[in-house]
Amino acid sequence: MVMMMLLLLVGVAVAKTGVVDAETNRRLTRFALVVPQSAVILSSAINLQLEMTPGKVLAVLAAAVAMYVLLVALGLLAPRMYRFPPKDRGLFSFLAIFGNVAYMGFPLVQALFGSDAVFYAALLNIPFNCLTYTLGVRLVSGGTEKGTLDWRQLVNPPLVSSVLAIAIIFLPIDWPGPVAQAVEKLGDMILPLSMVIIGASLGTQKLKDVLGDWRVYAYAPVRLIIAPVLLWLVLRPFIQDGLLLNVIVLVGATPSAAMAAMLSIEYGGDERLASRAIFVSTVLSVLTIPAICWLLL
């Protein structure tokens, strides 16, 4: 986590010095979502050492559905318990449900558990990729006309890569070494690139604006602590695969998804509140993720 924080500070530095501007960072974000994130998912399938059967894949997908049922229930309940204004509850629900799986979840899973675990994370992320452009859009938009869904957005690179990864493990193909290595090297970019992107995004914000909203501090434990503990307590009796349970808990401990800000911009939500919450949860996760790993994994 210290290493990831240092990479994040590099992103802050290149934004503050003008090496990377907002438009460049948006283009880097698009590149990261399409190429390195897709590559790390595909590489996990190409180099998979686990024995996977259709039944086991279905079991992981069932665990993914159960995971997001719990997170949705938590996300819808928590803002009401905090007594936030109705106009802000949808965004706070989104912040609790969706973690930063693309930029922090995959790199952390790969670093701690290896490429086999990334395949689990990719399967677990299928409901995420479906829900963000359905339920997620409705939450951040507050049900306004701008929240009208574009179903074409459901077909996004991470979802397509996850489906292809499932197909790859059942195809009797002996992948040439250079092909497998090229895909693996592209996937290795996700950790440094994602941290620099997050840092560059944070570097464009004024600290006095970010640090002045008490709500984001009070609400951060819902995503960073309550969510992973809830997943561990409820799913542990039903999941015998220790690696799968560890991946679920680690993904559940990631800070709020950067998609909250991007969807708020696109669908008329509160972009400033979303950005503040993402910043605070990302910084606090440097402390909470190691704590969750030490306690539960």
> What confidence score (pLDDT) does residue 177 get?
87
Say if residue 92's pLDDT is above 90.
yes
What does the pLDDT read at residue 229? 97
Q: Region 209-230: what's the mean pLDDT?
A: 90
Residues 6 or more apart from 21 whose CB is under 8 A from it?
15
For the beta carbon of residue 40, count every other beta carbon within 10 angstroms: 30
Q: Tell which wins on pLDDT, 170 or 251.
A: 251
pLDDT for 258 beyond 60: yes
The two tokens of residue 264 are 């708020």
Pairwise CA distance, residues 96 & 73, whole Å: 10
Alpha-carbon distance of 92 to 151, in angstroms, equals 23
Please report the pLDDT score of residue 145 as a whole number.
46
Per-residue confidence (pLDDT) for residue 230, from 0 to 100: 97
What pLDDT is recorded for position 149?
56
Residues 177-191 have a mean pLDDT of: 88
pLDDT at 197 over 90: no
Cα dihedral angle (116, 122, 127, 128), rounded to 10 degrees? 120
Mean pLDDT of all residues in 13-27: 89
Q: Would the pLDDT of 147 be above 50?
A: no
Mean pLDDT is lowest, of 26-30, 107-111, 277-281, for 26-30
Q: Do residues 97 and 281 make contact, with C-beta atoms less than 8 angstroms apart?
A: no
On the question of pLDDT at 235 being above 50, the answer is yes
126 band by pLDDT with thresholds 50, 70 and 90: confident
The pLDDT assigned to 195 comes to 79
Q: What is the mean pLDDT of residues 287-292?
A: 94
**pLDDT score, position 154:** 65
Does residue 9 or residue 153 have the better pLDDT?
9
> Region 137-150: what's the mean pLDDT?
66
Give the pLDDT band of residue 288 (cuts 50, 70, 90): very high
Can you tell me the mean pLDDT for 3-11?
84
CA atoms 35, 154, 163, 246: torsion sign: positive
Greater model confidence, 161 or 224: 224
Average pLDDT, the chain: 86
Taking 3-state DSSP, the helix, strand and coil percentages for the chain, each rounded to the nearest 5, stand at 80, 0, 20
Where residue 239 falls among pLDDT bands split at 50, 70, 90? very high
Gap between the Cα atoms of 41 and 191, Å rounded: 13
Average pLDDT of span 40-54: 83
Q: What's the CATH fold of domain 2-296?
A: Na+/H+ antiporter like fold (1.20.1530)
pLDDT at 247: 96
The distance of Cα 131 from the centroid of its chain, to the nearest Å, equals 12
CA dihedral 4, 7, 8, 11 (to 10 degrees): -160
pLDDT beyond 60 at 262: yes
Query: Does the pLDDT at position 143 exceed 60?
Result: no
